[in-house]
């Protein structure tokens, strides 16, 4: 199987699983609200879910550095998501629903470093930006269809349960395809082998070090470079000031701006914007490098001014801007890590990177939820200030230095 076909097949797996978890994610805010959750609880639970999905990648990223474990991690993580979401359809207790939301995000933490590492290996033959952008675009097909399925079920039944239960079908299909793909490509690292040449020797710490850096001591991996940590600081600040869709959708319903059945439809449209933004930013990344990410704090700063408005048109526009920022964050931001980390440490580099901005997102979600209940203008001003600092780091300190 060629590298492109592998990326496409993995993209289809992700598309099917995106139907599952993005379908659920599209109504998490109003669903928890219907069970009695406050705006603060919705923001904290959805932010904690993202933190679980990101911070625990630090652990699973280290495990993903072991090639023999990558497929096992990917399969078990996808399985946890496929099981957790349909169980929301039979849960009526707020605390159980919150635990299931966190369990679904745990599945993402388990699988993502292994998946990203295998995609990075396949992307060496295609271009990292193109590989992650292509995967993200396919991924977003499911992110479009899942919310529409949930929205249709909600409109027909007036209940969230049937929509969650229907998501068991694409979950099962994703698992079957994933097992087939593992059988076809048991070792994606082979894509990094130059055609016509024997497989490369396993990377040594010295070979992975950046040019000019002192060799790593025997038995120790090469350290992550300074630019990697600057990049992690920029990304963490950006996500600290980034509202979750759970709170945005909660606002849409509680403020009477949209009926519950239309919220997942809007989310599906936002995921379409996400896919376009992912392709555009991935294409630009392969030409100008990390400089393309200068747009991310600008988009994130605009979200609260629009998305938490009491005007329906402005609030809908805010969700679409949120989708564009998510597309850049989920594709190009990940691609940047591959170019800043030694090849032998990509798994742990992805884990450390996502742990940094996952903790920042959790802390930011608590602050955003608290400010939402006190003063929306103060919330918008605070987020704008945070994104301004992130922009200064990006422009002045320049984590993109040395990139094309």
The model's pLDDT over 52-91, given as tens digits with 9 standing for 90+, comes to 987 887 788 778 888 889 999 999 999 999 999 999 999 8
Q: What is the pLDDT of residue 276?
A: 86
pLDDT digits (tens, 9 = 90+) for 296-319: 999 999 999 999 999 999 999 999
pLDDT band at 293 (very low <50, low <70, confident <90, very high): confident
Cα distances (angstroms) measured from residue 202 to each of 68, 173, 207: 14, 35, 10
Of 17-21, 384-388, 396-400, minimum mean pLDDT range? 396-400
Are 29 and 249 in contact by the 8 Å Cβ rule? The answer is: yes
Instruction: Quote the CA–CA distance of 88 and 163 in Å, as a whole number.
Output: 10
Q: What is the pLDDT of residue 174?
A: 94
- Of the two residues 396 and 26, the one the predictor is more confident about is 26
Are 323 and 274 in contact by the 8 Å Cβ rule? The answer is: yes
Instruction: Take residue 265 and report the two structure tokens written for it.
Output: 């439809």
pTM assigned to the model:
0.79
Query: What's the mean pLDDT in 1-22?
Result: 88
pLDDT above 70 covers what percent of the chain?
87
Burial of 162 (0-12, 13-18, 19+ CB in 10 A): middle
Are 133 and 359 in contact by the 8 Å Cβ rule? The answer is: no
Q: What is the pLDDT of residue 281?
A: 85
pLDDT band at 214 (very low <50, low <70, confident <90, very high): very low
pLDDT band at 399 (very low <50, low <70, confident <90, very high): low
């Amino acid at each position: 199987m060629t590298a492109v076909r592998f990326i496409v097949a993995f993209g289809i797996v992700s598309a099917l699983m995106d139907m599952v978890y993005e379908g659920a994610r599209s109504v998490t805010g109003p669903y928890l609200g219907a069970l009695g959750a406050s705006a603060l609880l919705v923001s904290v639970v959805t932010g904690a879910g993202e933190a679980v999905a990101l911070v625990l990648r630090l652990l699973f990223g280290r495990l993903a550095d072991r090639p023999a474990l990558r497929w096992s991690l990917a399969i078990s993580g996808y399985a946890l998501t496929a099981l957790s979401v349909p169980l929301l359809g039979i849960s009526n207790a707020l605390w159980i629903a919150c635990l299931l939301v966190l369990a679904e995000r745990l599945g993402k933490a388990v699988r993502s470093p292994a998946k990203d590492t295998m995609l990075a290996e396949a992307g060496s033959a295609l271009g990292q930006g193109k590989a992650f952008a292509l995967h993200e675009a396919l991924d977003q097909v499911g992110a479009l269809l899942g919310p529409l399925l949930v929205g249709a079920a909600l409109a027909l039944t007036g209940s969230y349960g049937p929509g969650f239960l229907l998501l068991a079908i694409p979950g099962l299909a994703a698992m079957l395809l994933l097992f087939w793909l593992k059988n076809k490509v048991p070792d994606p690292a082979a894509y990094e082998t130059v055609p016509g040449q024997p497989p490369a020797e396993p990377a040594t710490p010295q070979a992975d070090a950046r040019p000019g850096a002192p060799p790593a001591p025997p038995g120790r991996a090469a350290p992550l470079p300074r630019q990697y940590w600057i990049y992690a600081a920029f990304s963490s600040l950006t996500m600290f000031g980034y509202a979750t869709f759970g709170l945005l959708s909660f606002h849409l319903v509680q403020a009477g701006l949209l009926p519950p059945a239309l919220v997942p439809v809007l989310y599906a449209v936002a995921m379409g914007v996400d896919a376009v933004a992912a392709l555009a930013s991935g294409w630009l990344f392969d030409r100008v490098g990390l400089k393309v990410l200068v747009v991310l704090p600008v988009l994130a700063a605009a979200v609260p001014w629009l998305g938490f408005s009491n005007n329906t048109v402005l609030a809908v526009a805010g969700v679409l801007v949120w989708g564009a920022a998510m597309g850049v964050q989920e594709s190009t931001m990940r691609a940047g890590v591959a170019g800043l980390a030694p090849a032998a440490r990509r798994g742990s580099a992805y884990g450390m990177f996502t742990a940094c901005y996952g903790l920042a997102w959790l802390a930011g979600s608590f602050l955003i939820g608290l400010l939402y209940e006190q003063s929306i203008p103060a919330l918008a001003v605070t987020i704008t200030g945070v994104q301004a600092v992130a922009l200064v780091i990006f422009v002045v300190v320049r984590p993109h230095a040395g990139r094309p």
